[in-house]
Amino acid sequence: MTQTAQPTSTPPGGTPAAPNAQPRAAVAGLPPALKRRIPKYSDLAPLMKFKKPEFSNAARLRRASTIWELRDLAKRRTPQAPFDYTDGAAEAEITLRRARRAFEDIEFRPGILRDVSNIDLRTKILDKESALPFGIAPTGFTRMMQSEGEYAGSQAAEAAGIPYTLSTMGTASIEDVAAAAPNGRNWFQLYLWTDRDRSLELIERAAKAGNDTLMVTVDTAVAGARLRDVRNGMTIPPALTVKTVLDASYRPAWWFNFLTHEPLTFASLSRYTGTVADLINSMFDPTLTFDDLDWLRETWKGKLVVKGIQTVEDARKVVDHGADGVVISNHGGRQLDRAPIPLHLVPDVAAALAADNSNAAIILDTGIMSGADIIAGLALGADFALIGRAYLYGLMAGGRAGVDRTIQILEKDMARTMALLGVTKLSELNPDHVRLLQH
How many other CB atoms are there within 10 angstroms of residue 245's CB atom? 11
CA 274 to chain centre: 29
Q: 389-421 vs 371-380: helix axis angle to the nearest 10?
A: 70
Measured in whole angstroms, the distance separating CA 24 from the mean position of its chain's CA atoms is 63
The neighbouring-strand residues paired with 186 are: 164
User: DSSP labels for 190-230?
Assistant: EPPBS-HHHHHHHHHHHHHTT--EEEEE-S-SS----HHHH
Buried b / exposed e over 261-288, threshold 16 CB at 10 Å, is: eeebbbbbeeebeebbbebbeebbbeeb
**Nearest-5° angle of CA 135, CA 139, CA 141?**
145
Instruction: Please state the φ and ψ torsions of residue 296, each to the nearest 5 degrees.
Output: -65, -40
Cβ neighbour number for residue 157 with a 10 Å cutoff: 27
Q: Give the residue numbers marked as catalytic.
A: 331
